Amino acid sequence: MDKQTAIKEKFALMHTYSRAPLKLVKGKGCYVWDQNGKKYLDFTAGIAVCNLGHVPDKVKAKISAQLDQIWHSSNLFEIEAQELLAAKLTEMSAFDAAFFCNSGAEANEAAIKLARLYAHHQTNTEQYEIVTFQHGFHGRTLGTLSATAQEKIQKGFDPLLPGFTYLPYNDIPALSELEKIKPIAVMLELVQGEGGVIPADKEWIKALAAICKKNGILMIVDEVQTGMGRTGTLFAYEQYEFQPDIITLAKGLGSGFPIGAMLAKENVAQYFGPGTHGSTFGGNPLATTAGLSTLETFSEEQIIANVQKQSEYLWTRLNGLKEKYPCIKAIRGKGLMIGIVLDTEAAQVIQAAQQESLLILSAGPQVVRLLPPLTVGKEEIGEFVMKLDHVFAKL
Ligand SMILES: *Cc1c(COP(=O)(O)O)cnc(C)c1O
């Protein structure tokens, strides 16, 4: 391709992302390679998607076998992998039924619809309000951006979908508002990802869960980023003393194959009957094969135990860097979902890291976000810390 054609093709893309000038053409485990063959240590995992590392062998084998069988049949027919994945997800969680879709935003849309439908079926309520929390992130569709209490995400898209009220996160006194708002549901992340890697306080969740229980308010937990082992348990809610009514999943569920899911308890799930909701691609044979083999690999390779072990080591090493460099204000997060809070721009750290063949992310202007594959080992963490040390030394 000549240069002129290359430039034209680049500009044929809408500029919804400011992309790094880097084309990744190959990945294996914790490493990726660009088109020039340069190797990078990847602590982004495709934004918490490649939790089993890049091109995991077992998932690859199952998807390859499925490619020979059938790719798509629609939800007008039974799909075996979909049934098995639903059975496995409900067996491994506190929920009774699963709905499959193709992304995090779609999973949250399904949760919002199900909460409204549930409320509609309760005899003594005309309510439809859903409370979400400041700095949260729930997606880019009109519904989910209306649920996302961030000005920069909502700006320019008025009118937003009605029915969302925002409260501050981790603020116990503010929860008294719930008795006035009388929402049908709350929706939240247990570690706010895009909002800056902010974990929910245990005491706040306890207070929130008590109010929800007392007032019959559904609890929807958006586990799109925190789910699939990221925080050291399969789902983040397991580390808190409550059970949500609904959770949503996507990112890590298919190891890079697009798939989303909403899981719910039976008393809520029962209202999603034929004709209420659907998706052409949702839960298709390839996607659910990817999801099923991803979950099987979690058990077979004891991924959760690895997250617990390696995160402990990584946190210790990061706290060492914090001692050494005063520009690091705090290390926060859970498991292998980590924010390094800086008193300087995260963007310059990310760029400098790229020069060191290290890929990392941001979560807001002054937070560097780490989302390594959950298969990461001690050696790779050592390499990571050495590279990041070089980056901070040169700042
Ligand atoms: C990424 C993310 C979403 C949106 O997922 P998409 O697949 O991009 O639609 C929603 N909620 C949370 C918490 C996320 O991290």
The residues spanned by each domain of the chain are 3-56+304-394, 57-300
| CA–centroid distance, residue 105 to ligand 1 (Å) | 6
57-69 helix and 285-300 helix, angle to the nearest 10 degrees: 150
The token pair at 339 is 């924010």
Alpha-carbon span 358 to 322, nearest angstrom: 19
Phi-psi sector, 195: left (phi>0), alpha (psi -120 to 50), beta: alpha
φ, ψ (nearest 5 deg) of residue 293: -70, -25
Mutate to test the pocket of ligand 1, among 225, 262, 279 (most ligand atoms within 8 A of CB): 225
| CA–centroid distance, residue 41 to ligand 1 (Å) | 24
222 Cβ below 6 A of ligand 1: yes
Q: CATH: 3.40.250.10, 3.10.50.40, 3.40.50.150, 3.40.640.10. Which one for 57-300? A: 3.40.640.10
102 Cβ below 6 A of ligand 1: no
Alpha-carbon span 232 to 345, nearest angstrom: 28
Burial 109-143 (b: 16+ CB within 10 A, else e): bbbbbbbbbbbeeeeeeebbbbbbbbbbbbbebeb
| CA–centroid distance, residue 5 to ligand 1 (Å) | 33
Alpha-carbon span 320 to 384, nearest angstrom: 13
| CA–centroid distance, residue 320 to ligand 1 (Å) | 31
Q: CATH: 3.40.50.300, 3.30.590.20, 3.90.1150.10, 2.60.120.650. Which one for 3-56+304-394? A: 3.90.1150.10
Alpha-carbon span 321 to 387, nearest angstrom: 11
pTM: 0.97
Provide the residue-wise pLDDT of the chain in tens; the chain has 395 residues: 566 666 666 679 999 999 999 999 999 999 999 999 999 999 999 999 999 999 999 999 999 999 999 999 999 999 999 999 999 999 999 999 999 999 999 999 999 999 999 999 997 778 999 999 999 999 999 999 999 999 999 999 999 999 999 999 999 999 999 999 999 999 999 999 999 999 999 999 999 999 999 999 999 999 999 999 999 999 999 999 999 999 999 999 999 999 999 999 999 999 999 999 999 999 999 999 999 999 999 999 999 999 999 999 999 999 999 999 999 999 999 999 999 999 999 999 999 999 999 999 999 999 999 999 999 999 999 999 999 999 999 99
Using CA atoms, how far residue 71 sits from 10, 67, 253, in Å, is 30, 6, 18
